[in-house]
Amino acid sequence: MSDAPWWRGAVTYQIYPRSFQDTDGDGVGDLPGIIERLDYVASLGVDAIWIAPFFRSPMADFGYDIADYRDVDPLFGTLADFDRLLDKAHGLGLKVMIDQVLSHTSAEHAWFRESRESRANPKADWYVWADAKDDGSAPNNWLSLFGGSAWQWEPRRGQYYLHNFLTSQPDLNFYNPDVRAAILDSVRFWLDKGVDGVRLDAINFCFHDRRLRDNPPKPKEKRVGRGFSPDNPYAFQYHHYNNTQPENLTFLADLRELMDRYPDVAALGEISSEDSLATMAEYTRAGRLHMGYSFELLTADFSVAHIRGTVQTLEAQMTEGWPCWAISNHDVERVLTRWGRGQPSPQLANLLTAMVCSLRGSVCVFQGEELGLTEAELPYEALQDPYGIAFWPQFKGRDGCRTPMPWSDADAHAGFSHGMPWLPIPPEHRALAVSRQEGDAGSVLNGFRTFMHWRKSRPALRWGDIRFVDTIEPVLAFTRSLDGVSVLVVFNLASAATEISLPPGFDQAQPLDGHGLLQGHRHGDRLRLPGYGVWFARVD
């Protein structure tokens, strides 16, 4: 597999630029700050970085509302800063992926400002417009993920426009070939600059049902959130018609055709549909996306049954594509809080890293995961996320996972900024600062580094097939196999020690060390695992 593309089996470190490192004292992270910290990122042993949006934007959704696809917002720096970032990252051996938000723009984008002026201008059909019903109400029952109707009245045109997210994020009309061409040209701009890949935000939202049919209601017992509050009325519908339309497959093929003109680049799609695993499999078939990831492991369910069931379901359907796994990102509660059962610990943090990085596929890790950061508890008056403000107090939004990185416990604002940070840094994060963990061989940070470097020496963990071994809660076990070499991987997902019987054929497995985790011990066919312990062993 030495000739495998860089992204296959890679670990990508997600950087949320607002919260990574601020260099100009305005309390918001920037591109020069990322440049300043790239040596640290490279030391983690990851393969790539993914940078959340840094494009020109009014920041209603903190960059996911783009006003200019081809420019850097002054809040983050300049295009020259991005060029310097790209050069330094590549010099350190890091690939660079950037977010591309293609399904919608900001209401401040020049395209929308023109489109909303009349029904007969050159951009009139660039967004999803529809007439009101006879009673003046919205065209159908579609809901915004951020709450309320997905339709907003525009008096200039006397029509409604579609917004699957904020009212200030109007949806582009991908049925218009000029829109598709303009979007692909924007992607080409960054590929020409030398980026190694694109992470495609909400990529299954590009097309809508042309007949504007109502979404059917969802039974109460099935209203399970995937990255959003279960109290959100968005969960009350099956979203059959406002996203994941068959026409999107043709656009994905066009996008892939563009990317295939550039050597060794990758497209990673974020997918959230009614059956996200099936959509992942469909979107990563030959000639479409290189990788896909969903919210299936970003839920509160930390059980062997859920993890195994999710992976096995995807494996059964994804016969051509390649998965990418994530257990944390900028949209959900931090995993150590979400899966820590009220008692997060360094041992659990290290186990979670090892677990997700041992599944078949590539991996995205979110900044601060390597430090064992927990979800920050913020008072209402500190919130910035419009989603959290709207749904407080039942749902506190996404600010708790987006607080700034704690670099130094001794410096003001934990070394993140000389000014007041845009979100407060909780005291418990200061105690986990990089400066505190660097010199501690047993820290979560150094455990993360040890495992990442060890993983690079295990081809089976990066590229091998996966087969689950029958176990009971709380033990998760599977093998990864490549070129005649098999590695047995066993995780105790509980804080208490446990003991299991190894299935026939595994009682002679030879333990592997050097991964830096709490190692189990085998006695014959019995395997004893400490709390949050693991067992990596070679099976001949």
User: What are the sequence ranges of the domains in the chain?
Assistant: 11-106+176-455, 465-539
Q: Could you confirm whether 270 is annotated as catalytic?
A: yes
Which of 171, 201, 282, 333 is an active site residue? 201
H/E stretch holding 529 reads strand 526-529
Query: Residue 485 in contact with residue 538, Cβ under 8 Å?
Result: yes
Pairwise CA distance, residues 328 & 349, whole Å: 12
pLDDT of the chain along its 540 residues, tens only? 568 999 999 999 999 999 999 999 999 999 999 999 999 999 999 999 999 999 999 999 999 999 999 999 999 999 999 999 999 999 999 999 999 999 999 999 999 999 999 999 999 999 999 999 999 999 999 999 998 999 999 999 999 999 999 999 999 999 999 999 999 999 999 999 999 999 999 999 999 999 999 999 999 888 876 555 667 899 999 999 999 999 999 999 999 999 999 999 999 999 999 999 999 999 999 999 999 999 999 999 999 999 999 999 999 999 899 999 999 999 999 999 999 988 999 999 999 999 999 999 999 999 999 999 999 999 999 999 999 999 998 889 999 999 999 999 999 899 999 999 999 999 999 999 999 999 999 999 999 999 999 999 999 999 999 999 999 999 999 999 999 999 999 999 999 999 999 988 888 899 999 999 999 999 989 999 999 999 999 998
Helix (H, G, I), strand (E, B) or coil at 323: strand
Q: From residue 70, give the alpha-carbon distance in Å to each of 53, 54, 323, 439.
A: 11, 10, 29, 41
DSSP H helical ranges for 66-106: 79-91
Question: Which has the closest alpha carbon to 423: 401, 438, 392?
Answer: 401
CB atoms within 10 A of CB 400: 21
- CATH 3.30.70.260, applies to 465-539: no
**Range list of β-strands (E), 118-211:** 129-130, 151-154, 159-162, 197-201
Burial zone of 393 (CB within 10 Å; 0-12 exposed, 13-18 middle, 19+ buried) = exposed
Q: CA 296, 302, 304 angle in degrees (round to 5)? A: 95
Q: Could you confirm whether 499 is annotated as catalytic?
A: no
Total count of residues recorded for the chain: 540
Question: In terms of pTM, does the model score above 0.75?
Answer: yes
Question: Which has the closest alpha carbon to 82: 186, 190, 6?
Answer: 190
Indicate the fold that domain 11-106+176-455 takes in CATH. TIM Barrel (3.20.20)
Pairwise CA distance, residues 469 & 479, whole Å: 7
Q: Are 11-106+176-455 and 465-539 in the same CATH fold? A: no
Pairwise CA distance, residues 171 & 163, whole Å: 5
Question: Which has the closest alpha carbon to 93: 30, 54, 49?
Answer: 49
Query: Residue 434 in contact with residue 20, Cβ under 8 Å?
Result: no
Which of 61, 154, 270, 296 is an active site residue? 270
Helix (H, G, I), strand (E, B) or coil at 326: strand
